[in-house]
């Protein structure tokens, strides 16, 4: 059986997410210029921000009926592993292949971020993929999707209480589209369309398989695409 969702387990889980996200950011910066470009204050600030986003996202997910986290909500370890594969690893492989087929020819475009365009080793690909997957999924899926679903569900239940089906479905759909638009805007013109549709897919995976699945799908997709595109 998995551990019960207690305040202690939630805090440990969110602190782990924040630690991995902060650590991957430090590794990314070190790998980019060979020096510690993040100051101790910036590292602490990033950790606190990711921790706050994670805690808020888990709370909002719990209040809105989303799983939020496989680790915190699955009935047993094997169910969590199964869902992690179904909603994380396998979709990530598919997304990676799709990205490769669609964007391989643009891999050296000046619009691509230098940190991506200059990938030259498996370690580069690993660090860039991990940094993007953890930080972006905590922000855009765990926090923004969960908060939007919770907020919109309360609004829809008050305004459209006579249409319970609309109140149940519309908040999730609107949250998916809105969070994907924000996700796309955060990327440049080159990545807008891919980020929007990728955000929709990752949002659906998050809503069904928790933040771990979304992180895994994002990480696997990036790692496959970057490795196949930039490593000879």
What DSSP assignment string belongs to 155-177?
HHHHHSTT-HHHHHHHHHHHHHH
pLDDT for position 166: 63
pLDDT for position 153: 87
Q: What is the dihedral of CA 5, 9, 11, 13, to 10 degrees?
A: -100
Q: What is the dihedral of CA 12, 15, 16, 17, to 10 degrees?
A: 130
**pLDDT-wise least confident of 152-156, 193-197, 220-224:** 152-156
Residue, of 6 and 169, whose pLDDT is higher? 6
pLDDT for position 162: 60
What Å distances lie between residue 73 and 66, 79, 91, 139, 218, CA to CA? 10, 10, 21, 20, 21
pLDDT for position 203: 98
Mean pLDDT across the chain = 91
DSSP annotation of 69: -
d(C-alpha 217, C-alpha 92), whole Å? 4
Q: Per-residue pLDDT averaged across 206-215, rounded? A: 97
Q: Per-residue pLDDT averaged across 139-162, rounded? A: 87
pLDDT for position 97: 96
d(C-alpha 91, C-alpha 221), whole Å? 8
């Amino acid at each position: 059986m998995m551990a019960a969702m207690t305040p202690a387990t939630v805090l440990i889980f969110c602190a782990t997410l924040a630690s991995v996200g902060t650590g991957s950011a430090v590794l990314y910066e070190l790998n980019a210029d060979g020096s510690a470009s993040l100051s101790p204050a910036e590292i602490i600030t990033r950790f606190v921000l990711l921790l706050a986003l994670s805690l808020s996202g888990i709370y909002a997910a719990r209040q809105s009926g989303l799983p939020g986290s496989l680790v915190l909500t699955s009935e047993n370890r094997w169910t969590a592993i199964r869902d992690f594969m179904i909603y994380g690893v396998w979709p990530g492989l598919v997304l990676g292949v799709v990205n490769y087929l669609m964007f391989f020819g643009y891999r050296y475009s000046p619009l691509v971020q230098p940190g991506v365009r200059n990938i030259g080793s498996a370690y580069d690909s690993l660090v860039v993929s991990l940094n993007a997957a953890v930080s972006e999924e905590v922000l855009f899926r765990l926090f923004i999707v969960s908060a939007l679903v919770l907020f919109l569900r309360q609004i829809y239940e008050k305004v459209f209480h006579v249409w319970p089906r609309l109140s149940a479905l519309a908040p999730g759909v609107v949250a998916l589209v809105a969070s994907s638009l924000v996700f796309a805007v955060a990327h440049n013109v080159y990545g807008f369309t891919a980020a929007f549709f990728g955000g929709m897919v990752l949002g659906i995976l998050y809503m069904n398989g928790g933040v771990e699945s979304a992180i895994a799908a994002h990480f696997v997709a990036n790692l496959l695409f970057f490795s196949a595109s930039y490593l000879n």
